[in-house]
Structure 1
Amino acid sequence: MVRFTVSEDGIWTVKFSVESHNHELAKLGDQHLLRSSRHITEENASVLKSMCEAGIRITYAFSYLSDEVGGVANLGFTKRDVYNYIQKEKIAKIESGDTDSLIELFKNRAAEDHLFAWDVQTDEEDRLVIFFWVDGLGRIDYDSFGDVIIFYTSYRLNKYNLGCATIIGVNNH
Structure 2
Amino acid sequence: MWYVSRFIEEHNHELLLSKFVEYLRSHRKISDFEKAQLNSMRKIGIIIPKIYESFAAQVGGFNMVSFTKQDRPSKQLCDLFWSDGASQEDYRIFGDVLAFDATYGRNKYNLPVVFSGVNHHNQTCVFGAAMVSHESQESYNWVLERFLECMKGKTPNAIITNGDPAM
TM-score (norm 1): 0.25
The structure carrying a bigger helix percent of its residues is 1
Which has the higher Rg, Structure 1 or Structure 2? 1
